[in-house]
Amino acid sequence: MGLPERSDEPSQQSDGEPPGRRLFLSRALGTTAGLVAVTAAGAITGGVTSAHAAPGSAMGPARQEGQRNWRFCNKCFGMFYYGYPTNGVCPAGGAHYMAGYDFDIPYNVGETPNAQANWRFCDRCFGMFFFGYPSGGWCPTGGSHSAAGFNFVLPHDVVETPNAQAYWRFCTKCFVLFFWGYPAKGRCPAGNEHNAAGFNFVIPHW
Ligand SMILES: [Zn+2]
Ligand SMILES: [Zn+2]
Ligand SMILES: [Zn+2]
């Protein structure tokens, strides 16, 4: 089934710029995703060469049929679906608020060593959450998330490209997919910030 795995994480943080800035920095310096340390001031301090590439494919995720309109919420840092007139329920209060890329997330394709299935849309909060555990996590509307729609298959541990953003992670507390590339880790409906574990997801976008 491919439960998210715990792993040691390289220390890294960014300077609070929108998702995507890290991509530019890492590409500009010829470094590999997951091995770039960016200080709060935005300077590269831990760049290493591609000879130390992260495990997994040396290629970014291949373009596959997917669903667009998945967006980053700049209030809770979660991934949510922006394709409806309303924008769900944000753990930071009110509805989610979209920013950044238009993500295009593969679905109904096979799981591989570099792509994990069982990611679902919650029709209560509109977040993307992992449905591979007996529990459905913690929904900001109360109780567990409610799975609906496609079975999304998220690429992970492949290189970041101009059309795919890394540092998306599973939260062990609420089970959502959230962006881990800022010093702050968003707002978790289970309390305080999200807590990352498992794979480093690399999400295709336009
Ligand atoms: Zn939100
Ligand atoms: Zn939910
Ligand atoms: Zn969380």
Q: What is the DSSP string of 110-159?
A: --BTTEEEEEEEETTT-BEEE--SSS----TTSSS--EEEEEEEEEBSS-
Task: Say whether pLDDT at 36 is over 50.
Answer: no
Ligand nearest to the CA of 188: 3
Starting from the CA of residue 190, give the closest ligand. 3
| Confidence at residue 61, expressed as pLDDT on a 0 to 100 scale | 76
Residue 39 pLDDT greater than 70, yes or no:
no
Give the number of other CB atoms < 10 A from CB of residue 43: 10
Q: How far is the CA of 123 from the centre of ligand 3 (A)?
A: 17
Which ligand lies nearest to the CA atom of residue 178 in the structure? Answer: 3
Tell me what pLDDT residue 65 has: 81
How far is 11 from 178, CA to CA, in rounded Å?
17
Query: Are 189 and 78 within 8 A, CB to CB?
Result: no
Spatial contact of 172 and 195, defined as CB atoms under 8 Å apart: yes
Q: Return the higher-pLDDT residue of 39 and 55.
A: 55
Provide the pLDDT confidence category of residue 57 given band limits of 50, 70 and 90: low
For residue 65, give every residue at least 6 positions away whose Cβ sits within 8 Å of its Cβ, in sequence order, or none. 106, 107, 109
Is residue 22 predicted with pLDDT exceeding 50? no
- Whole-number Å distance, alpha carbon 144 to ligand 2 midpoint, is 7
189 CA from centroid of ligand 3 (Å): 6
Contacts of 122 (CB under 8 A, 6+ apart): 88, 128, 129, 139, 145, 146, 147, 148
pLDDT: is 60 or 156 the higher one?
A: 156
Rounded average pLDDT over 115-139: 97
Give the chain's mean pLDDT. Answer: 80
- Tell me how many degrees the CA angle 65-68-72 measures, rounded to the nearest 5: 130
153-190 pLDDT, tens digit each: 999 999 999 999 999 999 999 999 999 999 999 999 99
Domain ranges of the chain: 46-204
